[in-house]
Amino acid sequence: MRSTPIAALAVLTSAALALAACSGGSDGNGNDNGNGSADGGDTSEVTLDFFTDKAAWEPSFDDMNAASDGVAPQLSFTGYSDPTAYDAFIKQSFRTNERPDLFTWHTGDRLGELVEQGLVAETTEIWDQAIADGFVTEELAQSYTYDGKQYCVPLHVVYWVMYYNTEIFAEHDLEVPTTWEEFTAVADALVEAGVVPLHQMNIIFEFVWFQAILAGSDLEAYHGLSDGSVSYTDPPVVEAMDTWHQMQSDGYFIDPGVTTDPQTLLQTGETAMAYFGTFFTGQLTDLGMASGEDYGMFVLPSVNPEMSETPVAVETGPLCVGTDSENQQAALDYSAWWMGTEAQSAWSESRGDVSFNPNATVTDEALAEITAQVTGEGHVQYGRYLEATPNTIYTVAAEEFGAFVTNNDDPMGHLEAIQAEADAYWAEQ
């Protein structure tokens, strides 16, 4: 098990939290009808009790109330800053008659727990229509699917892409890579020039290069880890770890113990590239960096050149309707409206971020291009490792990946430790 100095942990945790803080209505089937009703009745005058652990996002939800005025229900906002207190509150509320109409939650195991207990309303019809209308992809629906049915809708999405310092690329005559071979050639050129190519962390985001390399090598194997059909000691996983090990040995990554914020490292050129979710755009903007001028972004190419589609990791958080809440139908109507183009254009404008709806207007041209790219042909979305992995396995994996990043030692021992936990977990399922 790795150890991290407390001061460094505090700084990195703070940085990570900052990174993360990153046309009519619809009927319940997602059809635009101008009144936001799922059953033909008008629920646009209803006010929903809305709870979230994203207290800092209140101004954006004020903007959404302005956008939904007259066409969809309004939200009465209650925000929590402490995620642990928030999770406890939501779970407690379902033990009372004051169930939340609408609330934010998590995908993966934690959403599955609410589904199994019958605490969140099914949204299959909303998803079916949204997919048919081109508002969302079928791949994104998988993060909300349990026993063949969908629950909740996406509050937001984050696409994991590569950010790069344009000045460094220009100075060294580097082109944006479109293949893994070109990507490693760029990294090798930077190492030779004395520039650190890539950012990496040994806590919080210690797993991201594992997900990128494995998914980009064998997406089926990556998915197999999520259901236990693939072992962490199977050849595709071992090969991915060996690739990661070689990249570290070749000097591609900055010292993972560096506590400077990754956005500052990219701005100063201490790293030339940083693999992060699209929330990173906001962090760079806060530093005064201009999209398309001071930095650019590109989809990380597949490691395996024979893959027909380039995988892109997607991080998403759900917006859920409480089963048997006072305004359940109105909350479903709001969920259907939320998926639409007008709502998502308003959301993207307010947040300055991408939308899961490729038809939404995104003011940042680079983000708009990324959205069009990852939702278009030739690309396939997959769930981020943190959400795709059962919690007990992830807890061990985070420790092992963190130690591997810190020590760059033999990958096999780390994989065996994770698989031991996976064996114990799947034996109980």
Over residues 347-368, the pLDDT tens digits come to: 999 988 899 999 999 989 999 9
Question: 326 φ, ψ to 5°?
Answer: -60, -35
The candidate with the shortest Cα–Cα distance to 401, out of 212, 219, 161, is 212
- pLDDT, position 352: 83
Query: Which element (helix H / strand E) includes 322?
Result: none
Return d(Cα 423, Cα 165) in angstroms, integer. Answer: 42
Is 159-312+387-427 the same fold as 12-158+315-368?
yes
Q: DSSP string covering 268-309, please?
A: HTSSSEEEEETTHHHHHHHTTPPBTTTEEEEPPPPSSTT-SS
Classified by CATH at the fold level, domain 159-312+387-427 comes out as: D-Maltodextrin-Binding Protein; domain 2 (3.40.190)
Beta bridge partners of 26: 32
- pLDDT, position 167: 98
Tokens encoding 41 = 């009745």
The candidate with the shortest Cα–Cα distance to 321, out of 89, 122, 127, 149, is 122
The model's pLDDT over 88-145, given as tens digits with 9 standing for 90+, comes to: 999 999 998 889 999 999 998 889 999 999 999 999 999 999 999 999 999 999 999 9
Return d(Cα 255, Cα 251) in angstroms, integer. Answer: 9
268 exposed, middle or buried (CB, 10 Å; 0-12, 13-18, 19+)?
exposed
- pLDDT, position 417: 98
Return d(Cα 226, Cα 223) in angstroms, integer. Answer: 5
Q: Hey, where are the domains in the chain?
A: 12-158+315-368, 159-312+387-427
pLDDT of 197 strictly over 80 = yes
- pLDDT, position 98: 84
Query: Which element (helix H / strand E) includes 401?
Result: helix 391-407
- pLDDT, position 37: 42
What is the SS3 assignment for 215? Answer: helix
- What is the band of 26 on the pLDDT scale with cuts at 50, 70, 90? very low
Percent of the chain with pLDDT over 90: 84
12-158+315-368: which CATH architecture?
3-Layer(aba) Sandwich (3.40)
The model's pLDDT over 383-428, given as tens digits with 9 standing for 90+, comes to: 999 999 999 999 999 999 999 999 999 999 999 999 999 999 999 9
- Residues 154-179 have a mean pLDDT of 97
Alpha helix ranges (H) inside 317-360: 328-339, 341-351
The candidate with the shortest Cα–Cα distance to 157, out of 390, 391, 393, 387, is 387
CB 51 within 8 A of CB 89: yes
* Segment among 39-43, 81-85, 144-148, 352-356 with least mean pLDDT: 39-43
**Number of other CB atoms surrounding residue 173 within 10 Å:** 7
Return d(Cα 12, Cα 417) in angstroms, integer. Answer: 25
The candidate with the shortest Cα–Cα distance to 301, out of 293, 292, 311, 316, is 311
Return d(Cα 23, Cα 65) in angstroms, integer. Answer: 14
- What is the band of 15 on the pLDDT scale with cuts at 50, 70, 90? very low
- Residues 236-254 have a mean pLDDT of 98
State the average pLDDT for the chain.
90
pLDDT of 314 strictly over 90 = yes
- pLDDT, position 357: 94
DSSP 8-state assignment for residue 148: T
